[in-house]
Amino acid sequence: MPSSQALCRLAIFGSVLALAACTSTKPSGKSAEAVLVPGDPTAPSQVTPSESLSIAASYAKHSWRPFARNILHGADPAGVVVNTPDASFNDEKQRAGWWLPGEMNQGVPYKWGGFDDLAAFDQGVAAGRAAGDVSSAAKRVADNAGVSANAAGVDCSGFISRCLKLPTVHDTTQLPAVCAPIAAADLRPGDLLNIPRGHVVLCAGWARPDRSWIYFYETGGPPDYWRPGLKEAPLAEMLELGYQPLRYRGMAREPGVSGKEVLTRSLRAKSAVVTEPVIGEP
């Protein structure tokens, strides 16, 4: 029979084991979500879904104050025709402008060919550049020749390139080269819906439990054509327009993070409902 001293040592050892068993638990959900599966290291940049959506939201909520000198409806010094999306603008398709001179406005305005980060946009406005330049059929025909160096803002691909932290702008024909095609049912936050030579939006998650609708960020597109915003629309109708689901090769994967968890409840509540989506840029 073991001595009383040995029994005491056994009891202490058993207590230590029991304490270890109680304190050795699985990582919490928060810790598990912090473990990232990196993107392709050969991609031009590395980004997570949360980072991508955070950048998109920063463009949508950016506050700035323009003045009358930031309005231009006519040719810039280089002869490029510019139409700022200020409140005085309205084209034949009723895609009205929105920003007001002398007041604090929210959201970086659309600019054909624009790729400004927030600091560069603010600097451009302070320097008296045109605050935005709307898309048009003439701009699309002119392509790069229609880009004004005297305007500040972002267009659809410039916005998406910023959201992916790309070092240079990738237009809708170049984005597929840094992405992989995916099935529409596999869309998750940070993925893209792209139409080459058309338009591109950033997937922000599923808007319905049956995955029939998605949340997405875009600049260009109804109801507020000329500034970035969060929207929701039926996925099937977007696919019918020609949108192709893509996943950026440098996008990290966050295990356990769903679309609803990436978007906060307050953001989801403010999303614009688009029942009949269209290609955002004419």
Q: What does the pLDDT profile of the chain (282 residues) look like in tens digits?
A: 444 444 344 343 343 333 333 333 334 444 444 578 899 999 999 999 999 999 999 999 999 999 999 999 999 999 999 999 999 998 767 789 999 999 999 999 999 999 999 999 999 999 999 999 999 989 999 999 999 999 999 999 999 999 999 999 999 999 999 999 999 999 999 999 999 999 999 999 999 999 999 999 999 999 989 999 999 999 999 999 999 999 999 999 877 665 556 888 888 888 999 999 999 876
Q: Give me the sign of the Cα torsion angle 15, 21, 23, 24.
A: positive
Mention every residue, 6+ apart, whose C-beta is less than 8 A from residue 147: 80, 112, 113, 114
Q: How far is CA 96 from the centre of its chain?
A: 23
164 neighbors 183 (Cβ within 8 angstroms): no
DSSP-derived 3-state class of residue 99: strand
Of the candidates 59, 61, 98, the residue with the CA atom closest to the CA atom of residue 226? 98
Which long-range contacts does 116-123 make (Cβ < 8 Å, 24+ apart)? Answer: 116/152, 116/153, 116/154, 116/158, 117/162, 118/58, 118/59, 118/62, 120/152, 121/62, 121/64, 121/152, 121/153, 121/154, 122/64, 123/152
Q: What is the pTM of this model?
A: 0.86
67 neighbors 124 (Cβ within 8 angstroms): no
Task: Tell me what pLDDT residue 266 has.
Answer: 84
Of the candidates 114, 167, 165, the residue with the CA atom closest to the CA atom of residue 144? 114
Task: Tell me what pLDDT residue 263 has.
Answer: 84
Indicate the length of the chain as a whole number. 282
How far is residue 84's CA from residue 94's CA, in Å, rounded to a whole number?
15
Task: Tell me what pLDDT residue 3 has.
Answer: 45
Mention every residue, 6+ apart, whose C-beta is less than 8 A from residue 87: 96, 97, 98, 99, 100
Of the candidates 169, 158, 131, 128, the residue with the CA atom closest to the CA atom of residue 44? 169
Task: Tell me what pLDDT residue 24 has.
Answer: 37
Task: Tell me what pLDDT residue 282 has.
Answer: 64
Task: Tell me what pLDDT residue 259 has.
Answer: 52
Domain boundaries, the chain: 31-273
Is the bond into 223 cis (omega within 30 degrees of 0)?
A: yes
